[in-house]
Amino acid sequence: MENQTVMNGLAGATKQTQDAKGKILEFMWWLKKKGYREATILTDSQQLSILAKRSANLSDPDSVRAVIANQPWTSSRKSRAVAVYTLFLKMQDQTWEPPIYKPVPQIPFIPIEKEVDDLIAGSGRKLSAYLQLLKETGMRSGEEAQLKWTDLDFERNVVKITPEKNSYPRILPLSSKCVMMLKNLKRSGDLMFGRLSCNCMRISLCNTRKKLARKLNNPRLEQIHFHTIRHWKATTLHHQTRDILHVKQFMGHRRIESTLVYVQIESALFQNMSEDFTCKVAQTSDEAKQLIESGFEYVMQKDSLAYFRKRK
């Protein structure tokens, strides 16, 4: 009798799991028909899968509410889980009384450039090219995941970025190093990094940074996510130029408030650093190009010489 009860319980759990998988697949198809991006569809479906694996019955809002409440997640992540499940219920013409989790604003972690470079150097060919492109452009990982080979101009060394999250489209320069890394990638299809690249790259990043953190004895590396590099780029760019409008345009922000965050971060992180500059002079266009790719900014032209500078 006891064995029969256990078997019935297992059968019930299996059926619930199968029902959840079917509903999640239906949800993914519903999102696709609504025009959601593939990266969003993937992350939202993964969120539902996590809830289901942690014993949430997706057909029972009270069950989902209890599972979310018991997770050791931040308020931001719980808020996101609530939003995804609300969308899931909308697909079925259902509603619920969602719990309220207010995200707490946090100052993002900003690594030093050497840590970003260590991560790039210690990654495989595809991930290192992905990270180098993030470092130079500061684009969102979702924007990079949808890049097509036709968005790259190998003649002018620029990349065209199709925006997400209501940002502005941009055309940004690339270094010769980055262009070469991209040229060396194997092409398979029109997307530069392949289908579902955002998720694949994220898994690769998690594995790589964990190994490197242990190898280099630097646990800070495990705090670096794709969006961390975007934060680093905006902060560094403001420190180099002190031009908030340039940073806003470069990052594709629609609201100046989004850019102002990095002014505060830059002021705090670099307050004790010297305001001295390293100055260089370029006599040819090739020399000027090399200086710009090395982070120098143009200052002036005099007697056929171009003067550049970079903060020490």
Question: How does DSSP classify residue 35?
Answer: T
Cβ distance 311 to 277 under 8 Å? yes
What is the pLDDT at residue 207?
95
Taking CA atoms, 48 is separated from 19, 25, 37, 265, in Å, by: 12, 10, 17, 35
Q: Where are the domains of the chain?
A: 2-91, 113-269, 277-311
Give the 3-state secondary structure percentages of the chain, helix then strand then coil, rounded to 5: 60, 10, 30
Which of residues 103 and 2 earns the better pLDDT score? 103
Res. 11: pLDDT tops 50: no
Radius of gyration of the chain (CA): 24
How large is the average pLDDT for residues 123-129?
A: 95
Tens digits of residue pLDDT in 255-292: 999 999 998 898 888 875 555 677 888 888 888 888 88
Taking CA atoms, 167 is separated from 145, 170, 251, in Å, by: 16, 9, 8
What is the pLDDT at residue 196?
59
How large is the average pLDDT for residues 13-35?
A: 85
CATH superfamily ID and name for 113-269: Intergrase catalytic core (1.10.443.10)
Task: Determine the distance from the C-alpha atom of residue 18 to the mean position of all C-alpha atoms in its chain, rounded to a whole number.
Answer: 32
The beta strand positions in the chain, using DSSP E, are 152-153, 158-161, 170-173, 277-282, 297-302, 305-311
Tens digits of residue pLDDT in 164-223: 877 899 999 999 999 999 999 988 889 998 875 667 888 899 999 999 999 999 999 999
Cβ distance 52 to 64 under 8 Å? no
Cβ distance 91 to 26 under 8 Å? yes
Whole-angstrom Cα distance, residue 4 to residue 152? 63
CA-angle at 64, arms to 60 and 68, nearest 5°? 170
What is the pLDDT at residue 2?
45
Which of residues 114 and 4 earns the better pLDDT score? 114
Torsion 194-183-113-289 (CA) sign: negative
> Model-level pTM greater than 0.85?
no
Strand order in the sheet with 152-153: 152-153, 158-161, 170-173
Read off the amino acid at residue 164.
Answer: E
Question: How does DSSP classify residue 303?
Answer: T
Tens digits of residue pLDDT in 150-164: 999 999 999 999 988
What is the pLDDT at residue 5?
44
Class of residue 189 by CB neighbours under 10 A (exposed 0-12, middle 13-18, buried 19+)? exposed
